[in-house]
Amino acid sequence: MNLLCVAFFLFILGALLALLPGRGGDKTATLLGSGSAILGCLCGLVAAGQSLLGEGAETFFLPWSMPGGAFSLRLDGLSAFFLLPLFIVGLTGALYGAEYMKGGKERLRPGLHWTWYNLLILSMALVVTAANGLLFLFAWECMSLTSFFLVISEYDLAETVEAGWTYLLATHLGAAFLFAFFLSASAFSGSLEFASFQVLGQLSLPVASALFLLLLVGFGSKAGIFPFHVWLPDAHPAAPSHVSALMSGVMVKTAIYGLLRLSGFLPAGPAWWGGLLMAIGIIGALFGIAMAAMQRDVKRSLAYSTVENIGIILLALGFWMQSRANGHHIAAAFALAGGLIHLLNHALFKSLLFMGAGSLMHGSGSRDLNRMGGLMRRMPITGLLIVCGGLAISALPPFNGLIGEWFIYRALLESGTVLSGLAGFFPLVLIGLLALVGGMVIVVMTRIIGIALAGEPRSPEAARAHEAGWPMWSSMAGLALLCLAGGIMPVLLLQVAGRAATLLDPGAATLLADTAFEPWWLGIMAVVLLGCILAAYTLLRWRQGREPVPTSATWGCGFAFPSSRMSYSAESYTELPQSALFCSCLTPSTEDGRTIGFFPEVTRFFFAAPDPVLARLFKPFFRWAADVCSGFRGLQAGQLHVYLLYIFSATILLLFWVGQQ
Amino acid sequence: MDNYNPANLLLLLVILFNFFLLGSSRLGACIRTVAIQGGILSLLPLFLHGFTGHALILAGGAFLLKGLAIPFLLLRAIRQVHIKREMEPLLGYVPTLLLGTLATAGAFIFSDRLPLIEAHRGSLFIPVGLATLATGFLMLITRRKAITQALGYLIFENGVFIFGMLLAEAMPLMVEAGVLLDLLVAVFVMGIVMHQINREFSTMNTGQLSSLRE
């Protein structure tokens, strides 16, 4: 705990020091800001590691003159489990950002950027360690605000600012539900201390269900669960890449933490709570990955993939709740382990991919997949690391993505085989849907790799692309190595998740500690596969060395002079699933440019895949709400006398009210 | 009750001045009336609490600021901007006076219903305080000129002062000093605002400020 406080202190120090150099001192600011973020994350990692290795919980208390609040922190297995990815991604992000921000493309001065960055890590660490409702909300709001300022780094672009507003609106509407939860919870418990929330366990089922729904909406808007994900695909591309990594890898997970931690105080819920989570989860996963397949902006595609992964995590956690409520303890244990491991894994490989996308942007000067191409040859290290991340996210060995999903599949299979009738049918359907999601993930990742990395450059900028500096690729390499380590030693992931599971479900944790469930053979398989890949690579290089391969443009459908513009574009790559698989509500808007006649005119083809939920649900709703509320604008007269009249009338009314009592 | 009698006389005077302020259009007279009202109020702590150190400081401070300093500043301000009358109030003088009467009656009725401690029951302090507050509010709402607005705030503060009298023993001197200082600063700010409005819009009507909204 002391080390964690040192880390907190370092973040505050870094936030202040980064401001000191002011204009012109960009290099010093970067050094101070990222340096203290890195040091703080190292301290925090040691603290989280100690807590994960040890037993029990540590508490920390500071006097805080805030009515109803107290600065009380608590570091237990669950907090440490979430601190681990936070500090890993925070550390690599700081290293990455130190180089990334040098590009001069970001308009935000590095000093201010590093202030927000340090404060964002600090507030996220506070969110997962807070043991008081008010402190939690305080840290939660700080997290929202600092990340908002990081999102609008390039504030001179209109779309960035719009993304920022959407994000701020979504996150504040979500926070309103959290306020409602904490107010009603403290009304029952008499205090905002988490320790006193234990009495919530005695609530009746309807009240507890209402509180659970408040939590689900409140945290859901931050976690990006369907249909509250609308801010995510806009905000992630707008932010600098290491910030996208931190937001997508860790910040959305703090919402899962809040959901787990606070719903743990409620009485053990009925099966439909889990069922609801599962339904939202699988719909979100299918929706997210379908949208990811249609985006030509590489970071937008990755952002939708985050929606998909949050869906998978939610599916697993929902299945855990449902199985526990129905008394299927083995399936519950598998589902819980799967959800937690996938959560940890996603933090690692999604950060890796976002940083990789940032390096591609850095190299080729665009987020548009159709303006990349041929980058594997120009940015070999980045390219290799992106392929590693792609393998991990597609749940392919020898990387870590497989382990979490294996547990989730095991859980579904377990209850699908044990249960009979319709009850056993649903898990099997879910297996099919999850496999569909997994297949689509491979489509999305081969699309990014194939269009951006393989082939010939599709723009002059891409042809001039250069490898990223060492801080950028080394931080990505660190994440990739962690992904590999997780794939080779699944037992590590299982133990870390088991420590968090002891707090959520002690029964499941004891089951998981049983070595019979340990997927050690997955690790051995990963090692064998890794050996095979290395051997094949060596063989290929040896053969290539003997007879060099001629290079030419991609096959251009038989045109006489093929150029890279005629090769498969990002949109055409996923045309088949678009036309054959997706339901009509997802269909992208295209402006068809068919060629007619023998001597066709110049034609154009437009393709856009805006978020259907945002475009058809939220935008009309908010427009309607704005219309209704604009009637109140008359109250804002702008006349001092009228405002004074309001105050006077309010005072008189209050006095009458007091007189009545 | 008996020891309140001289104080009660003063308080009745305060109410009469309230009515005068609501009904008069001459700015100079209004400022002087507020000054006299402030001076009367500054005597109250002495009647209420005797010649203790606390009461003396309170009375002296109030007299200096309410009776002398602020009226002096306001008189100087109207000399500088050459205005003598409040023209075209938002609500005429007679309706304002009627409203003021209603508010004063309401204050007396209301203060009877308040759950007061025995010592304050039936005293004039609370109804007069409320009535003065209402007068200040009416002044603020119905007048256009920045200077009458400043007067409104002053009357408002006088009401607060009357209320505070009952608590003078419990209230630390610092609080009262703080309120007086706030008032002084407010008048300064009002003076600056007046000057600026006058320069920017060639008028002293605060109504022009509505062009600043949104």
Domain ranges of chain A: 1-207+226-255, 268-542+570-576, 622-660
* Whether the Cβ atoms of residue A320 and residue A415 lie closer than 8 Å to each other: no
Is A636 close to B213, i.e. CB distance below 8 A? yes
Dihedral, B191, B196, B197, B199 alpha carbons, nearest 10? 130
CA distance A647 to chain B (A): 9
Tell me the β-bridge partners of A71: A62
Interface contact flag, B141 A641, Cβ < 8 Å: yes
Amino acid at position A621, single letter:
F
CA nearest neighbour of A223 among A246, A247, A243: A247
With contact defined as beta carbons under 8 Å apart, do A216 and A259 qualify? yes
Q: Which residue has the tokens 């609080």?
A: B175
Please tell me the distance in Å from B167's CA to the nearest CA on chain A.
19
Count residue pairs from A and B with Cβ separation < 8 A.
40
For residue B116, give the nearest of A659, A12, A113, A249 by alpha carbon. Answer: A659
Highest mean pLDDT among B75-89, B140-154, B164-178, B189-203: B140-154
Q: What is the reported pLDDT for A604?
A: 78
| Cβ contact B110–A636 (<8 Å) | no
Q: Do A641 and B142 touch (CB under 8 A)?
A: yes
Report the C-alpha gap between A546 and A257 in whole angstroms.
Answer: 55
CB A306 within 8 A of CB A236: yes
Nearest-angstrom CA–CA distance, A660 and B11: 27
Task: Quickly list DSSP for A223-254.
Answer: HT-TTS-TTHHHHHHHS-HHHHHHIIIIIHHH
Range of the domain at B93: 2-208
Q: Is A421 left (phi over 0), alpha (psi -120 to 50) or beta?
A: left
Interchain CB distance below 8 Å, A659 and B110 = yes
Which of A50, A146, A32, A164 lies closest to A98 in space, CA to CA?
A32
On whether the CB atoms of residues B204 and B197 are closer than 8 A, the answer is yes
**Which residues of chain B neighbour A656 with C-beta distances below 8 Å?**
110
The answer to whether residue B213 sits within a structural domain is no
**Closest to A182 (Cα-Cα) out of A229, A122, A227, A138:** A138
Mean pLDDT, all residues of chain B: 79
More reliable by pLDDT, B172 or B10: B10
Residues of chain A with pLDDT under 70: 103-108, 515-517, 552-557, 593, 661
Q: Could you report the per-residue pLDDT of A185-217, keeping only the tens digit for each? A: 988 888 888 888 888 888 888 999 999 999 999
Q: Which residue of A has its CA nearest to B90?
A: A641
B80 near B198, Cβ under 8 Å? no
Distances (CA, A) of A641 to A121, A160, B12, B138: 47, 40, 28, 10
* pLDDT in the model for residue A404: 92
Identify the CA nearest to A307 among candidates A612, A658, A14. Answer: A612
Of A637, A644, A659, the CB nearest to B137: A644
Beta-carbon separation of A639 and B113 below 8 A: no
Domains held by chain B: number: 1
Task: Judge whether B142 and B21 are in contact, CB under 8 Å.
Answer: no
Please indicate, yes or no, if residue B152 is contained in any of the structural domains.
Answer: yes
Kindly determine whether residue A658 and residue B141, on different chains, have CB atoms separated by under 8 Å: no
Residue B98 pLDDT more than 50? Answer: yes
d(CA B211, CA B214): 8
Is the model more confident about B102 or about B199? B102
| B210:A641 CB<8 A | no
Q: Is A608 helix (H, G, I), strand (E, B) or coil?
A: strand
User: A641: which chain B residues are within 8 Å (Cβ-Cβ)?
Assistant: 90, 140-142, 144, 206-207
What Cα–Cα distance (Å) separates residue A534 from each residue in A39, A342, A454, A526, A527?
35, 26, 20, 12, 11
Neighbours of B53 (CB within 10 A): 8
Question: CA–CA separation, B159 vs B169, rounded Å?
Answer: 18
Choice between B89 and A612, residue whose per-residue pLDDT is larger: A612
B204: chain A residues, CB-CB within 8 Å? none
User: How far, in Å, are A274, A419, A566 from residue A425 at the CA level?
Assistant: 17, 8, 46
A281-284 contacts at long range (C-beta below 8 A, 24 or more positions apart): A281/A225, A281/A310, A281/A311, A281/A312, A281/A313, A281/A314, A281/A315, A281/A316, A281/A317, A281/A318, A282/A311, A282/A315, A282/A430, A282/A433, A282/A434, A283/A226, A283/A311, A284/A225, A284/A226, A284/A229, A284/A308, A284/A310, A284/A311, A284/A314
Whether residue A638 and residue B137 make contact (CB cut-off 8 A), yes or no, is no
**Alpha helices (H) in A449-574, listed in sequence order:** 460-463, 470-488, 490-504, 506-513, 520-546, 570-573
B interface mutation test: which of A630, A636, A639 has the most B CBs within 10 A? A639
Q: How buried is A535 (Cβ within 10 angstroms: 0-12 exposed, 13-18 middle, 19+ buried)?
A: exposed
Tell me which residue of A360, A349, A358 sits closest to A389, measured CA to CA: A349
What is the identity of the amino acid at A603? T
In a domain, B84, yes or no: yes
> pLDDT-derived band of residue B2, with 50, 70 and 90 as boundaries?
very low
**Residue B214 is assigned to a structural domain of this protein:** no
Query: Which residues lie below 8 Å from residue A473, measured CB to CB, with a gap of 6+?
Result: A359, A381, A382, A385, A467
The nearest CA of chain A is from the CA of B70 a distance in Å of 22
**Which residues from B are below 8 Å from A when comparing CB atoms?**
90, 110, 113-114, 130, 134, 137-138, 140-142, 144, 149, 206-207, 209-214
B6: pLDDT confidence band, cut at 50, 70 and 90?
confident
Q: What is the mean pLDDT of residues B102-107?
A: 90
Dihedrals phi, psi of A455, to nearest 5 degrees:
75, -160
For residue A658, the chain B residues in CB contact (below 8 A) are: 114
**Would you state the pLDDT for residue A107?**
54
Minimal-distance CA residue of chain A relative to B208: A639
For chain A, give the number of residues: 661
For A448, phi then psi, to 5°, come to: -65, -45
Residue A326: CA atoms inside 13 Å, Cβ hemisphere, count? 21
With an 8 Å Cβ cutoff, are B110 and A637 in contact? no
Please answer yes or no on whether A636 and B141 come within 8 Å at the CB atom.
Answer: no
Instruction: Tell me the one-letter amino acid at A344.
Output: L
Closest partner CB to B137 (pick from A636, A648, A659): A648
CA distance B68 to B184: 11
| The token pair that represents A37 in the structure block | 């973020």
Band (pLDDT 50/70/90 cuts) for residue B1 is very low
Please state, in angstroms and rounded to a whole number, the distance separating the CA atoms of residues B45 and B60: 10
Interatomic CA distance for residues B150 and A622, integer angstroms: 42
Among chain B residues, the shortest Cα distance to A657 is held by B110
Residues of A with CB under 8 A from a CB of B: 636-641, 644-645, 647-648, 651, 655-656, 658-659
Distance separating the N- and C-terminal Cα atoms of chain A? 51
Q: Quickly tell me which residue has 């609370």 as its tokens.
A: B126
